[in-house]
Homo-oligomer: A and B are copies of this chain.
Amino acid sequence: VNRPRARRGEGEHLRDEILEAGRRLLVETGDEDAVTIRAVAREVGVTPPAIYLHFEDKNALLLAVCRKTFEALDDQIEAAAAGIADPLEALRARGAAYARFGRENPEHYRILFMTRPFEHDELEPAEMTSGAFEHHLEAVQRACAAGALPPSTDPLLAAIFLWSGVHGITSLLIAKPKFPWPPIDELVDHVLRTLVEGLLSPGAA
């Protein structure tokens, strides 16, 4: 519970340490409720009131942790799809990256997509997602423009369909770890392919 005090201009440094400690607590305890002001302070090696120098309250702290995580998710998806020319392949790669992120960071995924929205979050709708959904929608639109999806396809509906499908398997794997799942990699791959098949069917307007 001892640590060097920051120099004059280095208040921001502690802010970063606090965020990182919040992230670490989430990962190590696997419990959103474990991220308390006091636990974070303990983790950083600082007294609880020091947190308030950098965050208005507990909610603001959690919100900041989430925003950081959203950026990481978006980055990983963009990186996975970069350089893939075929638009359907790109959609599958994006979905695979999304599912992988969820399985590698289950507690972050949980807080992003499986918990009740925060109380005072005017930023939920779009700002909060750091544009990840917009990027996804654009990828679907590119597939439509390339003629890779049926002409009757509504890009927004198709994008939501894919998102909810990938989210479905990702979140079930997290929520029901004891369910007798078949081999998980094959399962996720099968789901991704079958989802895209559904979009390709001319029956689904």
Residues of chain A touching chain B, judged by Cβ–Cβ distance below 8 Å, are 30-31, 33, 110, 113-117, 124-125, 156-157, 160-161, 163-169, 171-172, 175-182, 187, 190-191, 193-201, 203-204
Contact = CB atoms under 8 A, between A and B. Distances in A.
A124 B178 contact: yes
Per assembly, the copies of the chain total 2
**Most B C-beta atoms less than 10 A away, residue of A110, A166, A194, A204:** A194
30 contacts: A30-B116, A31-B116, A33-B33, A113-B172, A113-B175, A114-B114, A114-B171, A124-B178, A125-B179, A160-B182, A160-B187, A161-B190, A161-B191, A163-B168, A164-B165, A164-B168, A165-B191, A165-B195, A167-B172, A168-B168, A190-B204, A193-B203, A193-B204, A194-B198, A194-B199, A195-B198, A196-B198, A197-B197, A197-B201, A201-B201
**Most B C-beta atoms less than 10 A away, residue of A163, A168, A175, A201:** A168
Contacts of A165: 164-165, 168, 191, 195
Contacts of A125: 178-180
Contacts of A166: 168
Contact of A172 (B164, B178, B179, B191): B164
A193 B205 CA distance: 10
Contacts of A197: 197-198, 201, 203-204
A64 B45 CA distance: 41
Nearest to A178: B124
Given A110-B116, A125-B178, A197-B197, 12 more contacts: A31-B116, A124-B178, A157-B187, A160-B169, A161-B191, A163-B168, A194-B198, A194-B199, A195-B198, A197-B201, A197-B203, A198-B201
Contacts of A114: 114-115, 171, 175
